[in-house]
Amino acid sequence: MLAKTYSYGINGLDSYPITIEVDVSNGLPATIIVGLPDSAVKESKERVRTAIKNSGYKYEPRRITVNLSPADIKKEGPSFDLAIALGCLAASKQIDLNCLDDYAVLGELSLDGHVKPVKGTLPIALSMADRFKGLILPAENALEASVARNTNIYPVKTLNEVVNLLSSPERLQPFTANIDSLFAQANHYDVDFSDVKGQAFVKRGMEVAAAGNHHILLIGPPGCGKSMLAKRFPTILPDMTLAEALETTKIHSVMGLLRKKGGIVATRPFRSPHHTTSAAAIVGGCSNPRPGEVTLSHNGVLFLDELPEFNRDVLESLRQPLEDHKVTISRANKSVIFPSRIILICSMNPCNCGFLSDPRKNCNCSQAQIQRYLSKISGPLLDRIDIHLEVPALLSNELLSPKKEEPSHSIKERIVKARSVQQERFESEKVTYNAYMTPSQIKAFCYVDQEGKRMLKMAIEELGLSARAYDKVLKLSRTIADLDNEQNILAEHIAEAIQYRSLDRNWWG
């Protein structure tokens, strides 16, 4: 006999419906799964067989054929186990359910018949709409799928529970969560900018970066607080909107990272991959493309600590996502696009030993060693980083000072204001932040007065500012003027912006 059940697969960040056909017929005992299964799907026959037996049913010693349709898309992962098991029970007439057509089913089975959590339930719930009466899924995924508010969610714990519920579907109770309170609860950071003593110049630079969405390079001796500052950066970014939270949550759902985060990502992600991470893990990859770190930090911060230690190919692979705010990954049979709207923070020492810029310690590196160390960062990558901040070693009196530092929430207020100025300015444009302005937009929106022009000319001629730095200075000046709520860019804004490009001159000039 033939039975049909329904489930969903994941392609990139989107889902697609899958029909699972199970046929039990006479023949030599064997279970065959067709429809481009990967090895996790192929292994599901062993899990399904044992789970069925251990749940008190019989696994027929006959020829069982399972077809996952559409048959031309590669199926991945163990999430079809539960739907296959229900199909096997229905096809072998051990259960008689009329409502199998009404529900989509997701879940991995353990050998004792328990239903284990799977990846990607949020994009699946988001795409379901009215096609089914609801989604039956592992209890541990209920919270993340309910965030979609798009379909009925029915959490289950065991195979037996699913069979019992489907035998009398009027007993099915949809799971609901209060998304607004979930969102409010999860919106909390454990760190704060007030933890960082001194470093007023660096903090101001980070404020400018947060206001205009500029990327940052922090350069300084060991222990000066680069990592500490970077970790606190998300706390001064404006709160995530629900739409942004859903975009980011969807990505984390596909990667199975949500269970510890209470169903929704409500704080801006801060990802800090180790410098041995491969290019595929940073930008995304695999034969069935998965999001990489640049996508996992979408709407948040990607922090590359010890930048020169990263492989050259990793750094070069960042160029497209930084330019386009998305990553396109093409494989022989498909191409997927992952979003990547991030602020990149890089940190590095100025030389191999790290003490070149530390007045209290001697640097042992030769000029050639320093050059070799710095040349690991290519010009085109440096070109995409608007703000270069030299982080000085902290003096003992600053460290011991009882002075209270400004907390994140009060810095954030200024940033929210500056961003609303940008929102108004770019209302009819495609870009959203000053950092994303095109050359023609720079021309249109960055009017500089005579005094400012004179200062720019001096910077180019006397400070040796490169042509590439020129546009950056204008964009940065625009952001600084927005923080000041000034319509026009003034000379003082240009002067501050030039300071954030000084590394061009000091280290790479």
* Residue numbers 373-412 binding ligand ATP by CB under 6 A: 394
DSSP 449: -
Nearer to ligand ATP, 156 or 196 (CB): 196
Which of the ranges 40-48, 60-68, 226-234, 371-379 carries the binding residues for Mg ion, by CB under 5 A?
A: 226-234
Nearest distance in Å: CB 265, ligand ATP:
25
Selection from Mg ion, ligand ATP, none that 353 binds (CB < 5 to 8 A by kind) is none
Question: Does 227 participate in binding Mg ion (rule CB under 5 A)?
Answer: yes
Selection from ligand ATP, Mg ion, none that 225 binds (CB < 5 to 8 A by kind) is ligand ATP
Of 395, 372, 392, 393, the closest CA to residue 507 belongs to 372
Q: How many Cα atoms within 13 Å fall on the side-chain side of residue 403?
A: 11
Question: Does 198 participate in binding ligand ATP (rule CB under 6 A)?
Answer: yes
Angle, helices 467-483 vs 408-425, to 10°: value is: 110
Nearest distance in Å: CB 347, Mg ion:
6
Q: Where would I find the H helices in 176-326?
A: 179-186, 200-212, 226-232, 242-254, 279-283, 293-296, 312-317, 319-324
Selection from ligand ATP, Mg ion, none that 224 binds (CB < 5 to 8 A by kind) is ligand ATP
Question: Does 466 participate in binding Mg ion (rule CB under 5 A)?
Answer: no
The CA distance from 258 to 299, in Å, is: 16
The CA distance from 464 to 354, in Å, is: 25
* Residue numbers 215-234 binding ligand ATP by CB under 6 A: 220, 222-228
Nearer to Mg ion, 218 or 481 (CB): 218
The CA distance from 509 to 502, in Å, is: 9
Question: Does 137 participate in binding ligand ATP (rule CB under 6 A)?
Answer: no
Beta bridge partners of 387: 216
Selection from Mg ion, ligand ATP, none that 198 binds (CB < 5 to 8 A by kind) is ligand ATP
Selection from Mg ion, ligand ATP, none that 199 binds (CB < 5 to 8 A by kind) is ligand ATP
Selection from ligand ATP, Mg ion, none that 349 binds (CB < 5 to 8 A by kind) is ligand ATP
Total binding residues toward Mg ion, as defined by CB under 5 A: 1
CA distance readout (Å), 426 to 57, 429, 432, 434, 485: 63, 5, 6, 9, 15
The CA distance from 405 to 197, in Å, is: 7
Selection from Mg ion, ligand ATP, none that 203 binds (CB < 5 to 8 A by kind) is none
Nearest distance in Å: CB 303, Mg ion:
9
| Residue number closest to ligand ATP, CB atom | 225
Q: How distant is the alpha carbon of residue 186 from its chain centre?
A: 16
Binder of ligand ATP out of 349, 357, 408, 434 (CB under 6 A): 349
The CA distance from 395 to 221, in Å, is: 13
Helices and strands (H and E) in the chain: how many = 23, 18
Nearer to ligand ATP, 224 or 294 (CB): 224
**Is the omega angle on the peptide bond into residue 70 within 30 degrees of 0, that is, cis?**
yes
Nearer to ligand ATP, 126 or 356 (CB): 356
Selection from ligand ATP, Mg ion, none that 412 binds (CB < 5 to 8 A by kind) is none
Nearest distance in Å: CB 191, ligand ATP:
11
If one counts every other C-beta atom within 10 angstroms of the C-beta of residue 162, the result is 26
Which of the ranges 87-95, 194-202, 252-260, 294-302 carries the binding residues for ligand ATP, by CB under 6 A?
A: 194-202
Strand ranges inside 45-165, DSSP E: 63-69, 103-105, 108-109, 115-116, 134-138, 153-156
Question: Does 203 participate in binding ligand ATP (rule CB under 6 A)?
Answer: no
Q: Which residues bind ligand ATP (CB under 6 A)?
A: 196-199, 220, 222-228, 349, 394
Residues that bind Mg ion (CB under 5 A): 227
